[in-house]
Protein backbone atom coordinates (compact mmCIF):
# COMPACT_ATOMS: atom_id res chain seq x y z
CA UNK A 1 0.00 0.00 0.00
CA UNK A 2 1.24 3.51 -0.80
CA UNK A 3 1.10 4.61 2.84
CA UNK A 4 3.42 1.74 3.80
CA UNK A 5 6.01 2.86 1.25
CA UNK A 6 5.96 6.54 2.18
CA UNK A 7 5.99 6.59 6.00
CA UNK A 8 8.10 4.87 8.61
CA UNK A 9 6.50 3.19 11.63
CA UNK A 10 7.80 6.09 13.79
CA UNK A 11 6.19 8.67 11.51
CA UNK A 12 2.88 6.79 11.58
CA UNK A 13 3.08 6.59 15.38
CA UNK A 14 3.68 10.39 15.44
CA UNK A 15 0.41 10.89 13.52
CA UNK A 16 1.86 11.70 10.09
CA UNK A 17 -0.27 10.85 7.05
CA UNK A 18 0.31 11.16 3.32
CA UNK A 19 -2.32 13.78 2.53
CA UNK A 20 -1.99 13.05 -1.21
CA UNK A 21 -3.56 9.60 -0.78
CA UNK A 22 -5.79 9.98 2.31
CA UNK A 23 -9.25 11.49 2.87
CA UNK A 24 -10.72 12.64 6.17
CA UNK A 25 -13.44 10.39 7.58
CA UNK A 26 -14.33 12.67 10.50
CA UNK A 27 -13.64 16.20 11.81
CA UNK A 28 -9.98 16.82 12.49
CA UNK A 29 -7.61 19.67 13.27
CA UNK A 30 -4.59 20.25 11.06
CA UNK A 31 -1.28 22.00 11.62
CA UNK A 32 -0.74 23.84 8.32
CA UNK A 33 1.89 26.25 7.07
CA UNK A 34 0.29 29.63 6.27
CA UNK A 35 1.02 30.28 2.59
CA UNK A 36 -1.55 33.06 2.19
CA UNK A 37 1.21 35.62 1.44
CA UNK A 38 2.07 33.73 -1.75
CA UNK A 39 0.08 33.77 -4.95
CA UNK A 40 -0.19 30.08 -5.75
CA UNK A 41 -1.41 29.56 -9.33
CA UNK A 42 -4.63 27.57 -9.83
CA UNK A 43 -4.52 23.90 -10.83
CA UNK A 44 -5.91 23.18 -14.30
CA UNK A 45 -5.73 20.46 -16.93
CA UNK A 46 -3.77 21.32 -20.08
CA UNK A 47 -3.23 19.53 -23.40
CA UNK A 48 0.37 19.44 -24.63
CA UNK A 49 2.57 17.87 -27.29
CA UNK A 50 6.02 16.40 -26.85
CA UNK A 51 8.51 18.88 -28.34
CA UNK A 52 11.76 17.27 -27.17
CA UNK A 53 13.01 13.84 -26.12
CA UNK A 54 16.72 14.13 -25.34
CA UNK A 55 18.58 11.32 -23.63
CA UNK A 56 20.67 12.88 -20.84
CA UNK A 57 22.05 9.53 -19.68
CA UNK A 58 21.09 5.97 -20.71
CA UNK A 59 18.34 6.08 -18.07
CA UNK A 60 17.41 9.76 -17.96
CA UNK A 61 15.50 11.70 -20.60
CA UNK A 62 14.75 15.42 -20.89
CA UNK A 63 11.19 15.82 -22.15
CA UNK A 64 9.87 19.07 -23.63
CA UNK A 65 6.11 19.69 -23.50
CA UNK A 66 4.66 22.34 -25.81
CA UNK A 67 1.37 23.95 -24.83
CA UNK A 68 -1.17 25.37 -27.29
CA UNK A 69 -0.67 29.10 -28.00
CA UNK A 70 -2.41 31.27 -25.41
CA UNK A 71 -2.40 28.63 -22.65
CA UNK A 72 -2.53 30.33 -19.26
CA UNK A 73 -0.28 28.02 -17.26
CA UNK A 74 1.47 29.74 -14.37
CA UNK A 75 3.61 28.01 -11.80
CA UNK A 76 6.13 28.74 -9.09
CA UNK A 77 9.64 27.39 -9.72
CA UNK A 78 9.93 24.08 -7.84
CA UNK A 79 6.36 22.89 -8.51
CA UNK A 80 5.46 19.71 -10.37
CA UNK A 81 2.77 18.49 -12.76
CA UNK A 82 0.77 15.28 -13.03
CA UNK A 83 1.18 13.88 -16.53
CA UNK A 84 -1.68 11.74 -17.80
CA UNK A 85 -0.04 9.14 -20.03
CA UNK A 86 -1.59 7.55 -23.13
CA UNK A 87 -2.96 4.64 -21.07
CA UNK A 88 -4.46 7.05 -18.53
CA UNK A 89 -1.72 6.34 -15.95
CA UNK A 90 -0.89 9.48 -13.97
CA UNK A 91 2.61 10.27 -12.72
CA UNK A 92 4.17 13.34 -11.15
CA UNK A 93 7.18 15.13 -12.65
CA UNK A 94 8.89 18.29 -11.46
CA UNK A 95 9.18 21.23 -13.83
CA UNK A 96 12.85 21.78 -14.63
CA UNK A 97 12.64 25.36 -15.88
CA UNK A 98 11.54 28.55 -14.15
CA UNK A 99 8.74 29.93 -16.28
CA UNK A 100 6.48 28.96 -19.15
CA UNK A 101 6.10 32.29 -21.04
CA UNK A 102 5.48 30.53 -24.36
CA UNK A 103 8.47 28.21 -24.07
CA UNK A 104 7.99 24.44 -23.77
CA UNK A 105 7.99 22.96 -20.27
CA UNK A 106 10.95 20.75 -19.41
CA UNK A 107 10.90 17.52 -17.40
CA UNK A 108 13.81 15.28 -16.39
CA UNK A 109 12.63 11.69 -16.18
CA UNK A 110 14.58 8.76 -14.81
CA UNK A 111 13.63 5.25 -15.96
CA UNK A 112 12.19 2.98 -13.26
CA UNK A 113 12.66 -0.64 -14.40
CA UNK A 114 9.27 -2.11 -15.39
CA UNK A 115 7.55 1.22 -14.73
CA UNK A 116 4.38 1.97 -16.69
CA UNK A 117 5.26 5.49 -17.81
CA UNK A 118 8.98 4.70 -17.95
CA UNK A 119 8.08 2.17 -20.64
CA UNK A 120 6.25 4.96 -22.48
CA UNK A 121 8.93 7.66 -22.18
CA UNK A 122 11.86 5.38 -23.03
CA UNK A 123 10.34 3.04 -25.66
CA UNK A 124 7.15 4.46 -27.15
CA UNK A 125 7.06 8.26 -26.89
CA UNK A 126 7.47 10.19 -30.13
CA UNK A 127 7.81 13.89 -30.92
CA UNK A 128 4.37 15.53 -31.26
CA UNK A 129 2.58 12.88 -29.18
CA UNK A 130 -0.49 14.45 -27.60
CA UNK A 131 -0.72 14.22 -23.80
CA UNK A 132 -2.53 15.98 -20.98
CA UNK A 133 -1.30 17.13 -17.60
CA UNK A 134 -2.75 18.64 -14.44
CA UNK A 135 -0.93 21.32 -12.54
CA UNK A 136 0.86 23.13 -11.15
CA UNK A 137 1.09 21.08 -7.95
CA UNK A 138 3.13 21.01 -4.76
CA UNK A 139 4.71 23.43 -2.33
CA UNK A 140 8.41 22.89 -3.09
CA UNK A 141 8.91 26.58 -3.86
CA UNK A 142 10.83 29.34 -2.12
CA UNK A 143 9.34 31.15 0.85
CA UNK A 144 10.98 34.25 2.31
CA UNK A 145 14.69 33.55 1.86
CA UNK A 146 16.04 37.09 2.28
CA UNK A 147 19.55 36.95 3.77
CA UNK A 148 19.47 33.20 4.42
CA UNK A 149 22.03 30.56 3.51
CA UNK A 150 19.93 28.67 0.99
CA UNK A 151 21.08 25.07 0.65
CA UNK A 152 19.74 22.57 -1.88
CA UNK A 153 20.18 18.83 -1.49
CA UNK A 154 19.31 16.82 -4.61
CA UNK A 155 19.70 13.25 -5.76
CA UNK A 156 19.20 12.08 -9.36
CA UNK A 157 16.41 13.90 -11.21
CA UNK A 158 15.74 15.77 -7.95
CA UNK A 159 17.98 18.41 -9.53
CA UNK A 160 15.10 19.33 -11.91
CA UNK A 161 13.09 21.58 -9.53
CA UNK A 162 16.36 22.91 -8.07
CA UNK A 163 17.35 24.06 -11.58
CA UNK A 164 13.96 25.79 -11.92
CA UNK A 165 14.35 27.52 -8.54
CA UNK A 166 17.91 28.66 -9.36
CA UNK A 167 16.64 30.12 -12.64
CA UNK A 168 13.80 31.80 -10.77
CA UNK A 169 16.23 33.40 -8.30
CA UNK A 170 17.46 35.58 -11.16
CA UNK A 171 14.19 37.50 -10.95
CA UNK A 172 14.38 38.20 -7.19
CA UNK A 173 15.79 41.58 -6.09
CA UNK A 174 19.11 41.41 -4.16
CA UNK A 175 17.33 42.62 -0.95
CA UNK A 176 14.85 39.74 -1.14
CA UNK A 177 17.43 37.20 -2.25
CA UNK A 178 19.41 34.75 -0.11
CA UNK A 179 22.82 35.65 1.30
CA UNK A 180 24.35 32.54 -0.25
CA UNK A 181 23.22 29.58 -2.33
CA UNK A 182 24.82 26.14 -2.28
CA UNK A 183 23.74 23.12 -4.33
CA UNK A 184 24.71 19.60 -3.24
CA UNK A 185 23.87 17.09 -6.00
CA UNK A 186 24.39 13.39 -5.47
CA UNK A 187 24.64 10.42 -7.80
CA UNK A 188 26.42 7.11 -7.89
CA UNK A 189 28.91 7.71 -10.71
CA UNK A 190 29.98 10.88 -12.61
CA UNK A 191 27.57 10.26 -15.53
CA UNK A 192 24.60 10.41 -13.10
CA UNK A 193 25.28 14.13 -12.68
CA UNK A 194 23.91 14.83 -16.13
CA UNK A 195 23.98 18.62 -16.22
CA UNK A 196 26.56 21.26 -15.43
CA UNK A 197 25.09 23.05 -12.44
CA UNK A 198 27.77 25.75 -12.64
CA UNK A 199 26.27 26.80 -16.00
CA UNK A 200 22.85 27.55 -14.49
CA UNK A 201 22.81 31.36 -14.21
CA UNK A 202 23.33 32.90 -10.78
CA UNK A 203 25.87 32.91 -7.99
CA UNK A 204 25.74 29.49 -6.40
CA UNK A 205 28.33 27.10 -5.09
CA UNK A 206 28.06 23.61 -6.55
CA UNK A 207 29.13 20.54 -4.59
CA UNK A 208 28.89 17.29 -6.58
CA UNK A 209 28.85 14.15 -4.44
CA UNK A 210 29.27 10.55 -5.61
CA UNK A 211 28.49 7.40 -3.65
CA UNK A 212 30.22 4.89 -5.95
CA UNK A 213 32.98 6.91 -7.58
CA UNK A 214 36.09 5.28 -9.01
CA UNK A 215 39.51 6.04 -7.52
CA UNK A 216 40.17 9.03 -9.79
CA UNK A 217 37.18 11.07 -8.47
CA UNK A 218 38.54 14.15 -6.71
CA UNK A 219 35.24 15.45 -5.35
CA UNK A 220 33.24 14.48 -2.28
CA UNK A 221 32.23 10.85 -1.70
CA UNK A 222 29.20 9.50 0.13
CA UNK A 223 25.76 11.01 0.49
CA UNK A 224 24.80 14.66 0.05
CA UNK A 225 23.37 15.03 3.58
CA UNK A 226 26.53 13.61 5.20
CA UNK A 227 28.81 15.82 3.11
CA UNK A 228 26.71 18.86 3.98
CA UNK A 229 26.99 18.15 7.71
CA UNK A 230 30.73 17.45 7.44
CA UNK A 231 31.09 20.89 5.86
CA UNK A 232 29.64 22.36 9.09
CA UNK A 233 27.02 24.74 7.61
CA UNK A 234 25.80 27.66 9.73
CA UNK A 235 22.42 26.13 10.56
CA UNK A 236 21.35 29.32 12.34
CA UNK A 237 20.91 31.03 8.97
CA UNK A 238 20.25 27.98 6.79
CA UNK A 239 17.12 27.07 4.85
CA UNK A 240 17.24 23.60 3.30
CA UNK A 241 15.38 22.44 0.19
CA UNK A 242 15.80 18.70 -0.41
CA UNK A 243 14.52 16.85 -3.44
CA UNK A 244 14.92 13.33 -4.79
CA UNK A 245 14.97 9.95 -3.10
CA UNK A 246 12.88 9.42 0.03
CA UNK A 247 15.89 7.77 1.70
CA UNK A 248 18.00 10.91 1.28
CA UNK A 249 15.19 13.20 2.43
CA UNK A 250 14.45 11.16 5.53
CA UNK A 251 18.09 10.84 6.48
CA UNK A 252 18.82 14.53 5.77
CA UNK A 253 15.84 15.75 7.79
CA UNK A 254 16.68 13.57 10.78
CA UNK A 255 20.38 14.51 10.77
CA UNK A 256 19.79 18.24 10.24
CA UNK A 257 17.06 18.53 12.87
CA UNK A 258 19.31 16.67 15.33
CA UNK A 259 22.10 19.13 14.45
CA UNK A 260 19.83 22.05 15.39
CA UNK A 261 17.98 23.09 12.21
CA UNK A 262 14.43 24.24 13.09
CA UNK A 263 11.89 21.97 11.36
CA UNK A 264 10.22 24.95 9.67
CA UNK A 265 13.41 25.53 7.68
CA UNK A 266 13.44 22.14 5.97
CA UNK A 267 11.39 21.77 2.78
CA UNK A 268 11.30 18.68 0.61
CA UNK A 269 9.74 16.87 -2.34
CA UNK A 270 10.23 13.11 -2.25
CA UNK A 271 10.13 11.35 -5.61
CA UNK A 272 8.12 8.46 -4.23
CA UNK A 273 6.07 6.19 -6.47
CA UNK A 274 3.30 8.47 -7.76
CA UNK A 275 1.05 5.70 -9.14
CA UNK A 276 -2.44 6.11 -7.68
Ligand X SMILES: Cc1cc2nc3c(=O)[nH]c(=O)nc-3n(C[C@H](O)[C@H](O)[C@H](O)COP(=O)(O)OP(=O)(O)OC[C@H]3O[C@@H](n4cnc5c(N)ncnc54)[C@H](O)[C@@H]3O)c2cc1C
User: Under the rule (CB under 6 A), what is the footprint of ligand X?
Assistant: 80, 91-94, 107-110, 112, 114-118, 138, 157, 160, 269, 271-275
| Min separation Cβ 114 and ligand X, Å | 5
129 or 229: CB nearest ligand X: 129
| Min separation Cβ 190 and ligand X, Å | 19
| Min separation Cβ 106 and ligand X, Å | 10
| Min separation Cβ 244 and ligand X, Å | 9
Alpha helices in the chain (DSSP H): 2-6, 9-13, 116-119, 159-169, 224-230, 246-258
Provide φ and ψ at 151, rounded to 5°: -125, 125
**Radius of gyration (C-alpha) of the chain in whole angstroms:** 19
Residue with nearest beta carbon to ligand X: 115
Contact 244, 216 (CB under 8 A): no
| Min separation Cβ 271 and ligand X, Å | 4
Q: b or e along 176-212 (b: 16 or more beta carbons within 10 Å of the residue's beta carbon)? A: ebbebbbbbbbbeeeebbbbebeebeeebebbbbbbe
91 or 204: CB nearest ligand X: 91
134 or 172: CB nearest ligand X: 134
| Min separation Cβ 218 and ligand X, Å | 28
93 or 220: CB nearest ligand X: 93
* CA–CA–CA angle 122, 126, 129 (5° rounding): 120
CA distance 31 to 33: 7
- Mapped onto helix, strand or coil, the DSSP state of residue 108 is strand
| Min separation Cβ 186 and ligand X, Å | 15
94 or 149: CB nearest ligand X: 94
138 or 178: CB nearest ligand X: 138
| Min separation Cβ 79 and ligand X, Å | 9
Residues 6+ apart with CB under 8 A from 93: 63, 80, 81, 83, 107, 108, 109, 160
Q: b or e along 33-45 (b: 16 or more beta carbons within 10 Å of the residue's beta carbon)? A: eeeeeeeeeeeee
11 or 234: CB nearest ligand X: 11
97 or 157: CB nearest ligand X: 157
Contact 125, 84 (CB under 8 A): no
Amino acid sequence: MREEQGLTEDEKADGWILSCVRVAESDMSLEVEDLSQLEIPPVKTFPCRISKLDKLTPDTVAVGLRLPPGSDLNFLPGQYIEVIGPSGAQRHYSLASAGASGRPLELHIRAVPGGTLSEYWFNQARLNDLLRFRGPLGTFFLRDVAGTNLIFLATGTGIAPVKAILEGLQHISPEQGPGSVTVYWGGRVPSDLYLDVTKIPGKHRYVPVLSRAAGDWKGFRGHVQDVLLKNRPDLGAAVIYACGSIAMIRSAKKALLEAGLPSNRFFSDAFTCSAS
